[in-house]
Structure 1
Amino acid sequence: MNKEQDILRWFNGELSAEEIKSLYPDEDFSVLERTGFYAKQLEAPKVNAEQALADFKKRTFKKDEPKVISLNFKTFMKIAAVLVVLLTSSYFLFFNNVNSFETQIAQTETFNLPDDSEVILNAQSKLSYNKKEWASSRSLELKGEAFFKVTKGEKFTVQTSAGSIQVLGTRFNVKQRDKYFEVACYEGSVSVTSNQGVVILKPGKTFRVVDGEVVGIKDFNAKSPSWLAQESSFDNVPLWQVIAELEAQYDIQINAEGVNTSELFSGSFTHSDKNIALQSVTIPLKLSYKINGKKVAFYNYESK
Structure 2
Amino acid sequence: MKDEKEILKWLNNELSSEEINDLKKSEGFETLEKIAYYTAQMQAPSIDAEAALEAFRAKNSSKNKSKTKVRHLNFSTFYKVAAAVVVLLTSAYFLFYNTTQTFETHIAQTQTFNLPDNSQVLLNANSKITFNKSKWDEYRTLTLLGEAYFQVQKGKTFSVNTTDGVVKVLGTHFNVKQRDNYYEVSCYEGLVSVTYNNQTIKLPPGETFRVVNKQIASVANFESQNPSWMEKESSFDRIPLSQVIAELERQYDIKIKVDDVDTSKLFTGSFTHSNQKIALESVTIPLKLSYKTDGKTISFYNYGL
AA matched with 2:94: L
Matched, 1:185 2:173: no
Q: Does 1:93 align with 2:94?
A: yes
TM alignment of 1:71-150, pairs within 5 A:
93-95=94-96, 96-150=98-152
Residues 182-236 of structure 1: CA distance to partner in whole angstroms, max 9, x if unpaired?
A: 0000000100001161110000001100010000343111110010010000011
TM-score (norm 2): 0.70
Matches of 2:236 and 2:204 in 1, distance apart? 20
CA distance in structure 1 between the aligned counterparts of 2:249 and 2:89, rounded to whole angstroms: 35
User: Unaligned stretches of 5+ in structure 2?
Assistant: 1-59, 65-86
SS class of match (1:280): helix
Matched residue type, 2:231: A
The whole-number CA distance in structure 2 between the counterparts of 1:210 and 1:296 is 25
Residues 87, 257 of structure 1: alpha-carbon distance in 2 compared, 3 angstrom cutoff: farther
Instruction: Find the aligned partners of 2:293 and 2:145 in 1 and give their Cα distance.
Output: 29
Q: What are the Cα deviations for residues 16-43 of structure 1, in whole angstroms up to 9, with x where unaligned?
A: xxxxxxxxxxxxxxxxxxxxxxxxxxxx
How far apart are residue 147 of structure 1 and its match? 0.2
Cα offset, 1:262, TM superposition: 0.5
CA 1:69–1:168 in 2, change beyond 3 Å: closer, same or farther? closer
Equivalence map 1:209-224=2 (5 Å): 209-224=211-226
Shift of 1:257: 3.1
Give the counterpart letter for 1:100 in structure 2.
Answer: T
Q: Residues 120, 285 of structure 1: CA spacing in aligned structure 2 closer, same or farther, 3 A cutoff?
A: same
What do the CA deviations read for 1:146-200 (whole angstroms, capped 9, x no partner)? Answer: 0000001110000000100000100000000000000000000100001161110
Tell me if the contact between 1:207 and 1:218 (Cα under 8 Å) persists in the aligned partners.
Answer: no
Number of residue equivalences: 224
Partner of 1:7: none
Deviations 1:116-149 (A, max 9, x none): 1000000000001001111111000000000000
Most deviating of 189-198 and 122-131? 189-198
1:268 to 252, 265, 270: 270
Secondary structure at 2:287 match in 1 = coil
Match of 2:245 in 1: 243
Give the SS at the match of 1:278.
helix
Is the radius of gyration larger for structure 1 or structure 2?
Answer: 1
How do 1:1-304 and structure 2 match up within 5 A?
93-95=94-96, 96-195=98-197, 197-303=199-305
CA RMSD in angstroms comes to 2.1
Structure 1 gap segments, 5+ residues each:
1-65, 71-85
Runs ≥4 residues deviating over 4 A = 66-70, 86-92
Q: 1:118 to 1:301 in 2, by over 3 A?
A: same
Contact 1:254–1:296 under 8 Å retained in 2: yes
